Amino acid sequence: MNGLTRASVRRAALVGAVALLACALMAFRSAASRYVAVGLHGDFVLKGLNERLSWVGLYYGAWIALTPLILASARWYPVRRDRWAGPLLVHGLAGFLVAGGSMVVMSAVFGVLVAGEEWANPAEWLTPRWLRLGAYHAVTDSIVYWAILAGGHGLALYESWKRSRLQSAELEQSLAAAQVEALKMKLQPHFLFNTLNSISFLALAGDTPAVGLMVERLGRLLRASTSTRGQQWVTVADELELLEQYVSIEEVRFRDRLNVTLRVAPDTRALLIPSLVLQPIVENSIKHGLSKRLDAGRLDVTVVRDHDALIVTVLDDGPGLPPGWALDTHCGRGLRNVIERLSALYGPRVDLELTNAPGGGTRVRLRLPIP
């Protein structure tokens, strides 16, 4: 058994000692209670069901009346981990006094109202007999005081437990959001990087108009992406805007070699999807499907609604997937980023599949449940 360290043994011993002490105290209390009870010499005996029930009623009535006061005192002077000696002493004493005192008063009331002369003779009120009754109740019923006190602490504990649970949940949520955001942010530098390389290349090749065009469109793409910064969910329309800007940049890079068609069902434009999901997928398809070819390539992007889900399909007519390609092991950085974020938002099973398209090329199909 691991974990049996000195500290845990010490703690177990401490707990055991405290428990033993508690039991001894309780036993002592029982004995003391009996002692005092015997000393009552059979006074204050309840006779008959009526008396018994009235007694019980008054008893509980008294304690119910006392409860708010005891709860207030628990809030006002609680036993805490860092300050337990004082409160324990005070409440311990209070238990005796309150129990004894209140029960004595109650017994007097009982006597006057119900039991009559046997119980309460006002002339006898300050005799030792009553003191003994008080002592009896102090010992026996103080436990009720302490039970109520413990209940008060319990309520306070419950409140702070609820609060901490709420805080915890909020923190977890913020963290998840920030992590998704950080992941998303990772994509931006990579894309900028690639485009800057293209700009450099074009400048060296002397293609000034292309540089200007790319610079301008890169600016638009950056604006499109910063407008949704911080948002995890964007409309399909917004994401499409981003995608169109991105495609326009790639079109400059590939000149006439790139042919992209976007087909988006009008009833999907206002739906919410995670941001920066379409663009990395298309980027991946362009990279693998087109950039390695010398002739022109096509890319078809369709977005349609299928009952409670959005289906995004990206079809290219490139070389297709190499044999033995698997999503888990071979997918690129961009796709991996997308999968990570989607699984953070939707759960571990992300419905994204890459297959060879019939007739050559690759087909990417993503199914997003509509929230």
Partner 1 sequence: MERVTVVIVDDEVLARKGLQALVERRTDCEVVAVCANGREAASRIAELEPGVILLDIQMPEVTGFDVLAQLPPGRQPAVIFVTAYDEHAVRAFEARALDYILKPVSPARLDAALDRALARIRDCRLAEYGRTVLEAVATLQGGAAAGAGRRPPSADWLERLMIKDGVAIHFVEVPDIDWIEGADYYVTIHAGGKSFLYRESLRHLEERLDPACFLRIHVSAIVNLGKVREIRRGFGGHYTVVLADGKKLPVSRRRKKELLDLGAARFGLKG
Partner 2 sequence: MLAVFAVIGTVTVAEQFLIVANTTKAPPSAKSVKTIEAVFWGSLRYYLAWAMVTPGVFWLSRRLPLLQRRWWWAVLAHLAIPLAASVPFFAFRLLVNSVLTATPYPVDALAALWRRILTGDTVAIAPTYWALVALGTMVGFARDEAARRLRAVELRRSLSTAQVDALRMQLQPHFLFNTLNAIGSLAQAGETEAVVRVVDHLGTLLRLSMESSGRPCVPLSDETRMLDAYLAIEEVRFGDRLRVSRRIEPQAAQAFVPALILQPLVENALTHGIGRRIEAGTLEVAARRDGRWLEVSVRDDGAGLPVGWSWPTGAGRGLANVKERLAAIYGVAASCAIGPAEGRGTVARLRIPWTTQPAEAGGSAPWNA
Binding site for partner 1 (CB under 8 A): 212, 215-216, 218-220, 223-224, 227-228, 237-238, 241-242, 245, 270
Distance CA 34, CA 40 (A): 10
Distance CA 304, CA 269 (A): 10
Which option in partner 2, partner 1, none does residue 241 bind, with CB closer than 5 to 8 A by kind? partner 1
Which option in partner 2, partner 1, none does residue 151 bind, with CB closer than 5 to 8 A by kind? partner 2
Out of 114, 192, 265, 331, point to the residue binding partner 2 (CB under 8 A): 192
Nearest approach in angstroms of CB 249 to partner 2 is 12
φ, ψ at 144 (rounded to 5°): -65, -45
In terms of CB distance, is 37 or 240 closer to partner 1?
A: 240
In terms of CB distance, is 13 or 24 closer to partner 2?
A: 24
Positions 31 through 60 that interact with partner 2 (CB under 8 A): 31, 34-35, 38, 48-49, 52-53, 56, 60
User: Which pair of tokens denotes residue 7?
Assistant: 């500290």
φ, ψ at 166 (rounded to 5°): -65, -50
Nearest approach in angstroms of CB 93 to partner 2 is 22
Q: Is 354 helix (H, G, I), strand (E, B) or coil?
A: strand
In terms of CB distance, is 81 or 307 closer to partner 2?
A: 81
Q: Is 204 helix (H, G, I), strand (E, B) or coil?
A: helix
In terms of CB distance, is 67 or 291 closer to partner 2?
A: 67
Positions 262 through 321 that interact with partner 2 (CB under 8 A): none
Transcribe 311-346 into DSSP letters. Answer: EEEEEE-SS-PPTT--HHHH--HHHHHHHHHHHHHH
Burial class (CB in 10 A: 0-12, 13-18, 19+), 7: exposed
In terms of CB distance, is 206 or 324 closer to partner 2?
A: 206
User: Does residue 84 belong to the site contacting partner 2 (CB under 8 A)?
Assistant: no
Distance CA 119, CA 121 (A): 7
By CB under 8 A, the count of residues binding partner 2 is 72
Out of 10, 11, 17, 28, point to the residue binding partner 2 (CB under 8 A): 28
Binding to partner 2 by CB under 8 A, coded x per residue (else -) over 141-180, reads ------xx-xx-xxx-xx-xx--xx-xx--xx-xx--xx-
In terms of CB distance, is 143 or 215 closer to partner 1?
A: 215
Which option in partner 1, partner 2, none does residue 53 bind, with CB closer than 5 to 8 A by kind? partner 2
Long-range contacts of 353-356 (CB under 8 A, 24+ apart): 353/327, 354/321, 354/325, 354/327, 355/321, 356/320, 356/321
Task: For the chain, state the CA radius of gyration.
Answer: 39
The secondary structure of residue 118, as a DSSP letter, is G
Q: Which residues pair with 56 in a beta bridge?
A: none
Positions 209 through 228 that interact with partner 2 (CB under 8 A): 211-212, 215-216, 218-219, 222-223, 226
Distance CA 221, CA 241 (A): 9
Which option in partner 2, partner 1, none does residue 158 bind, with CB closer than 5 to 8 A by kind? partner 2
Which option in partner 2, partner 1, none does residue 199 bind, with CB closer than 5 to 8 A by kind? partner 2
